[in-house]
Amino acid sequence: MTPVVPDPVLSVANLRVSFGQTEAVRGVTLAVARGETHCLVGESGCGKSVTALSVMNLLPRGIARTADHLRFQGQDLLGMSERQTARLRGDKMAMIFQEPMTSLNPAYTIGSQMSEVFERHRGATRRQAMDRAAELLARVGITAPGMRLGQYPHQLSGGLRQRVMIAMALMCDPELLIADEPTTALDVTVQAQILRLLQRLQQELGLALLLITHDLGVVARMAQRVSVMYAGEVIETGTVAEVFAAPTHPGMTRTGEPLGNIPGVVPRIPLGFIGCGFRDRCTLAMPECAQTVPLRNAGGDHFYLCRLPPDWKRAAAA
């Protein structure tokens, strides 16, 4: 029982990733439709970025992902060779990474890093690729793009590097864009302008956007769907309207913000862990929370992972 997304661009079912004895992603299921923005939110360490890296097949060497299925435009990503994935990555599926400081190569100019993607996937000449790069730099609000193309990452401010990352991800008009905190480091005006640009690309090109953020303002204003993660699981998911109107998981309700000011930190979950990952921080925990927790429906596409019934808050208030 999960939300039904017809003909999704990205479909993930029961994704699991573990690092040694720690399980970082524990059965994540989500789908992103064409032209849709799906936000993945949660505290740092909850498994959002690992989920994104698993889709892109960019997990550290030796770390395995398992899933019931992992599909991009109907193609099975799990069975694909590294070479096949590399052909999609940067072309039809692109990612904007969280740290623009470490994800740009310090030894190459902005222009050579940006044009490489276009030359490689589109067989373009260096000149065509440079023109395309300059066009995209201008679209993400970088003035004097010609000058920037000749510069190295260390010559750019953090905000500029972040915009270079965004422009680079858009070089090949991707079908799926995974963006990990793409606007967190930017000024509010630039954030609004870039989010509008992404929205326009969604309308023009049907771009599917999986947006990782902790900013509820961005979620509310930008997304159609939201999945809240905690300790490697999606603890609540639904349309933004549903989840914001009636957050149901106990971790969501304290301050109206997902996991707002709850004492404690996200626990590390060992392999073979059973039950609710939130129970140590939950004021409503019962002994039965140490058993497998059901995914419950709160109406429509709205699901949450907890033993409590959807109307528990009303019952508690009565």
Partner 1 sequence: MTHAIEVRNVYRDFQQRSAMAGLRHKVRAVDGVTFSLPAGDVLGVVGESGCGKSTLARLIMGLLPPTSGEVLVDGRSLSGMDRRERARMIQPVFQDPYSSLNPRQCIRDIVGLPLAAQGDQPKARQADRVMEMLARVGISSEMAERMPGQLSGGQRQRVAIARALVLHPRIVVCDEPTSALDVSVQAQILNLLAELRRELGLTYLFISHNLAVVEHIATEVAVMYLGRIVEQAPVQELFRTPTHPYTKALLASVLTPDPALGIPDVGLGDAYPDPTNIPPGCRFHPRCPSALAKCATTMPDNIRKDGRLVECLLAVPA
Pick the binder of partner 1 from 7, 135, 144, 270 (CB under 8 A).
Answer: 144
Rule CB under 8 A: say whether 21 interacts with partner 1.
no
- Assign 22 to helix, strand or coil: strand
Rule CB under 8 A: say whether 253 interacts with partner 1.
no
- 316's CB contacts (< 8 A; 6+ apart) are none
Rule CB under 8 A: say whether 219 interacts with partner 1.
yes
Looking only at residues 171 through 200 of this chain, which bind partner 1 when binding is defined by CB under 8 A? 185-193, 195-196, 199
> How near is the Cβ of 198 to partner 1 at its closest, in Å?
9
d(CA 65, CA 78): 8
Name the residue among 204, 195, 151, 210 with its Cα closest to residue 12: 210
CB 301 within 8 A of CB 78: no
Tokens 């573990």 -> residue = 18
Q: In this complex, which beta carbon is closest to partner 1, that of residue 14 or of residue 109?
A: 109
Rule CB under 8 A: say whether 270 interacts with partner 1.
no
Rule CB under 8 A: say whether 218 interacts with partner 1.
yes
Torsion of CA 134, 135, 140, 143, to 10 degrees: 50
> How near is the Cβ of 143 to partner 1 at its closest, in Å?
4
Burial class (CB in 10 A: 0-12, 13-18, 19+), 86: middle
Rule CB under 8 A: say whether 149 interacts with partner 1.
yes
Name the residue among 25, 32, 28 with its Cα closest to residue 72: 32
Pick the binder of partner 1 from 142, 168, 169, 298 (CB under 8 A).
Answer: 142
Rule CB under 8 A: say whether 267 interacts with partner 1.
no
Pick the binder of partner 1 from 53, 222, 289, 308 (CB under 8 A).
Answer: 222
* DSSP H helical ranges for 207-301: 216-222, 240-245
> How near is the Cβ of 301 to partner 1 at its closest, in Å?
14
Rule CB under 8 A: say whether 216 interacts with partner 1.
yes
- Please count the residues of this chain forming the interface with partner 1, following the rule CB under 8 A: 45
CB 66 within 8 A of CB 24: no
Binding site for partner 1 (CB under 8 A): 44, 109, 139, 141-144, 146-147, 149-152, 155, 157-160, 185-193, 195-196, 199, 214-222, 240-241, 244-245, 257, 261
